[in-house]
Amino acid sequence: MYKSTTHPQSLMPHLHLQELTKQFPGVTAVQSLWLEVQAGEILALLGPSGCGKSTTLQMIAGVVQPDSGTITLDGQILNRVPPERRDIALVLQRGLLFPHLTVGENVAFGLKLRGVSRAEREEKAIAMLRQVQLEGFADRKPSELSGGQAQRVALARSLIIHPKLLLLDEPLSALDANLREEMQDLILRLQAQTEVTMLVVTHDQAEAVVMSQRIALMFEGCLRQVDTPEQIYRQPYDETVARFMGGVNFFAAEAHGRQWRANDLTLFSEYDHYGSVQVTIRPEQIQVFTEGRSQTNTLPATVIANRFTGTQRRLTLAIASELTLQAWVTPTQDFRVGQLVWAYLPPSALWYFPHSTVPHPVQVP
Partner 1 sequence: MAFVKLQPASQHHSAPNLTRTFPWQAYLLMLPAVGVVGLVFGGGLALALLQSIGAIALLGERQISLAAYQAALTNPELLRSLSLSLYIAVVATGLSTVLSIGLALLLRTAGRWASFACQITLPIPHLVGIVGVLLLLSPSGFVSRSLYALGWIQSDQDFPLLVNDAANIGVLLHFLWKEVPFITLILLAVLRSINPAYEMQAQILGATPWQRFWNVTLPMMRTGILSSSLIVFGYIFASFEVPFLLGSTRPRTLPVLVYRAFTDSDVTRRAEAIALGIILSALSLSMIVAYSWLVSRDGQKRQSKKGA
Task: Name every residue whose Cβ is closer than 8 Å to that of residue 45 and which is 6 or more positions away in sequence.
Answer: 53, 56, 57, 199, 200, 201, 202, 216, 218
CB 185, min distance to partner 1, A: 25
**Quick check: 99 binds partner 1 (CB under 8 A)?**
yes
The values of phi and psi at residue 239, to 5°, are -65, -35
**Quick check: 109 binds partner 1 (CB under 8 A)?**
yes
Q: How far is CA 64 from the centre of its chain?
A: 23
The values of phi and psi at residue 148, to 5°, are -65, -40
CB 81, min distance to partner 1, A: 12
- What ranges in 236-312 are assigned the alpha helix state H? 239-244
Question: How many CB atoms lie under 10 A from the CB of residue 318?
Answer: 15
Q: Which of 178, 184, 195, 186 is nearest to 131 (CA)?
A: 186
User: Which position among 33, 42, 61, 267 is part of the footprint of partner 1 (CB under 8 A)?
Assistant: 61
CB 216, min distance to partner 1, A: 21
**Quick check: 83 binds partner 1 (CB under 8 A)?**
yes
Residue (7 or 114) nearer to partner 1, CB? 114
Q: Give the integer Cα–Cα distance in Å for 229 and 155.
A: 24
**Quick check: 232 binds partner 1 (CB under 8 A)?**
no
Q: Give the integer Cα–Cα distance in Å for 333 and 206.
A: 25
User: Which position among 50, 74, 79, 96 is part of the footprint of partner 1 (CB under 8 A)?
Assistant: 96
CB 28, min distance to partner 1, A: 23
3-state secondary structure (DSSP) of residue 255: strand
**Quick check: 100 binds partner 1 (CB under 8 A)?**
yes
Structure-derived torsion over alpha carbons of residues 60, 177, 282, 241, reported in degrees to the nearest 10:
20
Strand 68-73, strand 222-227: pairing: unpaired
CB 154, min distance to partner 1, A: 9
Q: Which of 78, 72, 67 is nearest to 29 (CA)?
A: 67
Strand 42-46, strand 197-202: pairing: parallel
Residue (89 or 209) nearer to partner 1, CB? 89
User: Which position among 17, 37, 51, 111 is part of the footprint of partner 1 (CB under 8 A)?
Assistant: 111
Residue (122 or 204) nearer to partner 1, CB? 122
User: Which position among 85, 178, 291, 336 is part of the footprint of partner 1 (CB under 8 A)?
Assistant: 85
Residue (16 or 157) nearer to partner 1, CB? 157
Binding-site string for partner 1 from residue 189 to residue 228, where x marks contact by CB under 8 A and - marks none: ----------------------------------------
DSSP 284: G
CB 54, min distance to partner 1, A: 12
Strand order in the sheet with 76-77: 27-37, 15-24, 68-73, 76-77
Binding-site string for partner 1 from residue 122 to residue 161, where x marks contact by CB under 8 A and - marks none: x--xx-----------xx-x---------------xx--x
Given a contact cutoff of 8 angstroms between Cβ atoms, the answer to whether 276 and 354 are in contact is no
**Quick check: 80 binds partner 1 (CB under 8 A)?**
no
User: Which position among 15, 59, 107, 223 is part of the footprint of partner 1 (CB under 8 A)?
Assistant: 107
User: Which position among 13, 66, 104, 148 is part of the footprint of partner 1 (CB under 8 A)?
Assistant: 104
Q: Give the integer Cα–Cα distance in Å for 76 and 95.
A: 28
What is the binding site for partner 1 (CB under 8 A)?
Answer: 61-63, 82-86, 88-90, 92, 96, 98-105, 107-114, 118, 121-122, 125-126, 138-139, 141, 157-158, 161
